[in-house]
Structure 1
Amino acid sequence: MTTTTSPQPTGHQAAYARHDWSSAFRNVGVELTDVPLVAARGSIPADLAGTLYRNGPGRLERGGRWVHHPFDGDGMIAAFRFDAGQAYLTNRFVRTEGWLAEEDAGKFVYRGVFGTQKPGGPLPNAFDLRLKNIANTHVVQLGDQLLALWEAAEPHALDPRSLETRELSRLSGVLKPGEAFSAHPHFDPGHHGEPRMVTFGVKAGPTSTIRLMEFATEDQPGGVRAGDLVADSRHSFKGFAFLHDFAITPSWAVFLQNAVAFNPLPFVLGQKGAAQCLASKPGEAGQFWLVPRQGGHHAGASPVLVPAPEGFVFHHLNAFEDAATGEVVVDSIYYDDFPSIGPEVDFREIDFGAIPEGQLRRCRIDPRTGAVQSEWLEQRCCEFAMVNPARQGLEARFAWMAVAERERGNDPLQAIEKLDLHTGERLVWSAAPRGFVTEPVMVPRSAPAEEHSAEEHSAEEHSVEDSGWVLVPVWNGARCATDLVILNAADMSEQAVLELPLAIPYGLHGSWAPGG
């Protein structure tokens, strides 16, 4: 595992063996509680205090049948608790209605959104339009509850320490039964005076409706408690909306409506999963939706609709408002087309060369004129990008993301890159040839509780933007198990490698909760 500086891209051959990559696709076979973790290399930083929560598919096979796509796997939460240089691991499956039913039956009894079918061919799948809430996409803490998220339905509430499933939560009546609740909330660090969790739900169709919600993340004066809904609005737009992520600034929630069509007939007839019925509209561009946030400078105004560059976007890095130009700047990971796995393809044998890679692109939107300018920030295959949480919605200097080992072309993600968004300088830590990374989480170092002037605070904030750590799960193909790697966020040097007594398939998203 190495760290390199990469100022200019240079291509070279793929540095992985397929069997190392595909060996991660398996069932999680055990649930652990507060198992101590020891660093196999390096040492755990003594001032790293809090819990890293991770979510992802943990059950990929039942009764000898595999899911068609790993995104159809049941959600499994892993919690890594750090305190005074020690680390402890707990993991639990989310006890969803579907997980419990299929555990009892020993086979798939639900269809999967990404193509997994019940046994027996199209006939038993036809007209079965139930959605199995698999709670496998993200996990965040809101108030005293840990929420396991799946964007097509309500979250599941868990105990933050034991990870035991409490209930399918409607957030004290905020959600209606079955209402969509995004798996991609963003945490506003305090643009409107107090920190908030900003999220959305979408009801898609010929006309799609976005519900934008904001929740307090701390108790506030006036009786507002952590977890309370503090802002709520709805907006409708023409066209089918496939939205996985969005971005925020102090004034805007920024959505990108991808140019896709949805033909539900193969899903209704039991031939495909719902997501397999999506298709890009060749030659058509998407559209940015700039939705005013309550409390921002444009509160109460109508949304602004602006054409977007061609391409498909799952995830955004960040967004901010350029005070000098009045532009809204959005950094997103673009694909040339919607990446999907066909009905006859085994996901463990996919041809990476036939799938478009994600690349980081910046769009500068003038909401007054509708003009959009764009440029590439990173053309290396990348995904799962993030900034320091304190810079969410503000201009950030640094980004951390998972990248391919090769600097051109599509491959599995094997490295973590720190990108200087001002200079283009890159630092890369690599797990190649036998390691494969998932989403990195940047954990800021806690600042000393001292009084500063506004000028001192601004200068200090800039100087410490990359002060902290990057935590990333790595599939170790050499030992067919998962490692947790701790990197220094500033120079990407390896601080510790924790070899887990657990094999965890490639995960999706995670979050950091500070404190003990």
Structure 2
Amino acid sequence: MPSYNAFILTSFLTQAIYFIHYHSASALSTPTSPLKTPNSSSHKSSNVNPKSPIVTTGVDIQAWGNAFNNCPKELPPTIVPLPDLPSDFPTGTYYRNGHARFYADDGTPVLHPFDADGMIVAMTFDSTTKQMLFRNRFVESEGYLADKATGGMSERGLFGTMKTGGLLNNAFRMGYKHVANTNVIHAGDDLYALWEGGKPYVLDPLTLRNKGGPGKVGMTDLNGLVDENFSAHPRYDPVRKTYVNFGSVFNPIKSEFKVSLYEVDAETFRSRNPSPTIPNFVLGAPALLHDFILTENYCIFNINDTKINTAAAIKAMLGLGGFAGSLEVNDSAETTNIVLIPRSLFNEEQSSVDSINLFDDERIIVMPIDRHFNFHYANAYEDDDGSVVFDTVQIDGMELATDNNDGKPIWLKENPFDAVAPSRMVRYKLDLQLKTLAIGTPPSVLTSRLPEFPSIPRDVSIRKHRYVYPVTARKKVDVNPKERGMGGPVGGIAKIDAIDPSNNEYFSFEPYEFPSECVLCPKIGKVVSKPEEEDGCYLLLNIVNGRDLTTDLAIFDVEGKGALEKGPVLRFQLPVFVPHMLHGCFSEGVTFDFDAVSTE
């Protein structure tokens, strides 16, 4: 059972924020069955600001809410013919993780999507035989298995979901459920389901079952490397062939926030050093850390002025709300700190990197910049002049979705975007010598079309990049970045040109269709680390149809000017409905014997 010290520990509020931006919406019918009737929403939009992107971009909010529905079944490996799969599409497997069980078997709803059980969807492609091997399975976490055994909710959720049994069964219950629902990484012969409130779950890449057999809890500490938490956003270093990640925990007794850094081999997902150095940093106050960025020499974090909301914490302890609501960012602060931690600390003695004061150590660069909140980065790199360049999605204010005391899911809120500021993608260039923004290079807004989930090809990570692929609003929006109520759900994707944003390309889906995060895979023969071949990729994403409760996979060719705007080169319906999902990856070369593992 996770400790109380770990409840606010992580950056789960950040997920709550991007839920409000991009995963909030309408009501569903009374939860009496695993799959609800489409368009049976009681959502009202009469109070929505007519200038809101919900109105101006024509989003079908009712369909968006309908898509917060259980995936109705798990499928074993199933062959799907794809006669139109491009011949230069690489052999490999596309994995996706996300919340997919919003109602228990007895009909009890989770109160926030981020409390919902994670499910892995896997699609293995073979362009030679023009086939795909599809399968999906819920991560069999300890909490998931307990819920299935009892038919109800066996544990509290960080975002407000209560245990079955009423108030008395929730008050002073400090444990919470590990839902394994945020990201998925393939390494060697294993698949890892990530959730930043705990350790990874290790799965079989083909069957998606926990390693150890059916019903076995496959949580791993990566051979003793991870003490408490392992973030859902590891960053890949294509030069060293490693992943760098962090874990964070807040100790309310000591009023101390600790961040630990980890580096693991990309093939084994274990440290290459039998006695690895784990840099540990401490702050005298909590912080909201969901993502970070990596360069050749630095790990980079965005740290805001944050405090404990005592009233919300007491409320959570009494079983009247989610623990995630206990952290509060100071929106009146004038600056945000960008913190650059040298990766050379991984090579020092453990004694010299234990309990480093993040704001009082000469090895750490701390740089105040314009105040904003950020939850996802695209990429960072070190330029030829020694500066650091990074692209990030940011907002000027945040509204937390933690008022779940009425026992209803948050997507039943009448107007889920009424206090949400719009997002934008911004490029920064930092002068590390002057510890300020590079002279003559103010932050450059790359797009204001409500971007989220910025993606790049994996092998472009930490390298100089030109293109970023986020999900966006369906149409161009004209909003004040500081005006609340101007956020909205996504309905399109984009190819952002960070060198010349006038070349940005956009593609919009139907008002009742909602895209997932984009995942890039290089075409056969393309080397995306070469600047001239950076966009030589296919882009994959799920498209959720909230009107009909179906899900498609779309593949776009993004190579060359105007390619994305032509639409998908291949789009087909998946054999099962998959709801709104979170992060994913494409593992090139990961394949299986289709005939041996075809439909049971």
| TM-score, normalised by the number of residues in structure 1 | 0.88
Q: Deviations over 1:277-318 (max 9, x none)?
A: 222213113322211113899999722122242221111111
**Which SS does the other structure have where 2:530 is aligned?**
helix
Q: Specify which of 371, 384, 396 is matched with residue 336 of structure 1.
A: 396
Q: Are 1:356 and 2:421 counterparts?
A: yes
Residue 25 of structure 2 is matched in structure 1 by: none
Residue 3 of structure 1 is matched in structure 2 by: none
Q: CA deviation at 1:207?
A: 3.0
What is the CA–CA distance in structure 1 between the aligned matches of 2:287 and 2:410, rounded to whole Å? 28
Q: Specify which of 77, 84, 96 is matched with residue 54 of structure 1.
A: 96
Q: Specify which of 60, 76, 90 is matched with residue 119 of structure 2.
A: 76
> Structure 2 matches for 1:26-65, cutoff 5 A?
26-38=69-81, 43-62=85-104, 63-65=106-108
Residue 262 of structure 2 is matched in structure 1 by: 213
Letter in 1 for 2:115: D
Letter in 1 for 2:393: I
Q: Specify which of 223, 226, 242 is matched with residue 172 of structure 1.
A: 223
Q: Specify which of 468, 490, 507 is matched with residue 413 of structure 1.
A: 490
Q: Is the Cα–Cα contact under 8 Å of residues 222 and 269 in structure 2 kept in the other structure?
A: no
Residue 5 of structure 1 is matched in structure 2 by: none
Letter in 2 for 1:204: F
Letter in 1 for 2:259: I
> Structure 2 matches for 1:95-106, cutoff 5 A?
95-106=140-151
Letter in 1 for 2:493: I
Q: Specify which of 283, 297, 304 is matched with residue 258 of structure 1.
A: 304
Q: Are 1:273 and 2:349 counterparts?
A: no
Q: CA deviation at 1:185?
A: 0.5
Q: Are 1:291 and 2:363 counterparts?
A: no
What is the CA–CA distance in structure 2 between the aligned matches of 1:114 and 1:484, rounded to whole Å? 30
> Structure 2 matches for 1:488-503, cutoff 5 A?
488-490=557-559, 491-492=563-564, 493-503=567-577
Q: Is the Cα–Cα contact under 8 Å of residues 473 and 484 in structure 1 kept in the other structure?
A: yes
Residue 160 of structure 1 is matched in structure 2 by: 205
In structure 1, runs of 5+ residues without a counterpart are 1-10, 219-224, 449-456
Q: Are 1:311 and 2:372 counterparts?
A: yes
Residue 242 of structure 2 is matched in structure 1 by: 196
| TM-score, normalised by the number of residues in structure 2 | 0.76
What is the CA–CA distance in structure 2 between the aligned matches of 1:296 and 1:159, rounded to whole Å? 30
Q: Specify which of 331, 339, 360 is matched with residue 282 of structure 1.
A: 331
Q: Are 1:109 and 2:170 counterparts?
A: no
Letter in 1 for 2:487: N
In structure 2, runs of 5+ residues without a counterpart are 1-52, 212-217, 354-361, 478-485, 592-600
Q: Are 1:148 and 2:193 counterparts?
A: yes
Task: Identify if the C-alpha distance between structure 1 residues 26 and 478 changes in structure 2 by more than 3 Å, giving closer, same or farther.
Answer: closer
What is the CA–CA distance in structure 2 between the aligned matches of 1:421 and 1:216, rounded to whole Å? 30
Q: CA deviation at 1:18?
A: 1.8
Task: Identify if the C-alpha distance between structure 1 residues 296 and 407 changes in structure 2 by more than 3 Å, giving closer, same or farther.
Answer: farther
What is the CA–CA distance in structure 2 between the aligned matches of 1:186 and 1:386, rounded to whole Å? 12
What is the CA–CA distance in structure 2 between the aligned matches of 1:150 and 1:158, rounded to whole Å? 14
What is the CA–CA distance in structure 2 between the aligned matches of 1:69 and 1:346, rounded to whole Å? 6
Q: Deviations over 1:12-34 (max 9, x none)?
A: 82222222111111111211122
Residue 451 of structure 1 is matched in structure 2 by: none
Task: Identify if the C-alpha distance between structure 1 residues 96 and 317 changes in structure 2 by more than 3 Å, giving closer, same or farther.
Answer: same
Q: Are 1:248 and 2:294 counterparts?
A: yes
Residue 374 of structure 1 is matched in structure 2 by: 443
Residue 346 of structure 1 is matched in structure 2 by: 410
Task: Identify if the C-alpha distance between structure 1 residues 124 and 332 changes in structure 2 by more than 3 Å, giving closer, same or farther.
Answer: same
What is the CA–CA distance in structure 1 between the aligned matches of 2:222 and 2:417, rounded to whole Å? 40
What is the CA–CA distance in structure 2 between the aligned matches of 1:297 and 1:391, rounded to whole Å? 25
Q: CA deviation at 1:118?
A: 2.1
Q: Is the Cα–Cα contact under 8 Å of residues 319 and 392 in structure 1 kept in the other structure?
A: yes
Q: CA deviation at 1:131?
A: 2.2
Q: Deviations over 1:451-488 (max 9, x none)?
A: xxxxxx99x81111000100000002343111010001
- Between the two proteins, the alignment pairs up a number of residues equal to 484
List structure 1 runs of 4+ shifted beyond 4 angstroms.
295-301
What is the CA–CA distance in structure 1 between the aligned matches of 2:221 and 2:81, rounded to whole Å? 39
Q: Specify which of 529, 536, 539 is matched with residue 467 of structure 1.
A: 536
**Which SS does the other structure have where 2:443 is aligned?**
strand
Residue 38 of structure 2 is matched in structure 1 by: none
Q: Is the Cα–Cα contact under 8 Å of residues 518 and 539 in structure 2 kept in the other structure?
A: yes
Q: CA deviation at 1:44?
A: 4.8
Q: Is the Cα–Cα contact under 8 Å of residues 399 and 419 in structure 2 kept in the other structure?
A: no
> Greater strand percent: which structure?
1
Task: Identify if the C-alpha distance between structure 1 residues 327 and 296 changes in structure 2 by more than 3 Å, giving closer, same or farther.
Answer: farther
Q: CA RMSD in A?
A: 2.4
**Which SS does the other structure have where 1:115 is aligned?**
coil
Q: Deviations over 1:384-435 (max 9, x none)?
A: 0012222211220111010011322422111110011111111112212221
Task: Identify if the C-alpha distance between structure 1 residues 502 and 368 changes in structure 2 by more than 3 Å, giving closer, same or farther.
Answer: same
The percent of aligned pairs where both chains have the same amino acid is 30
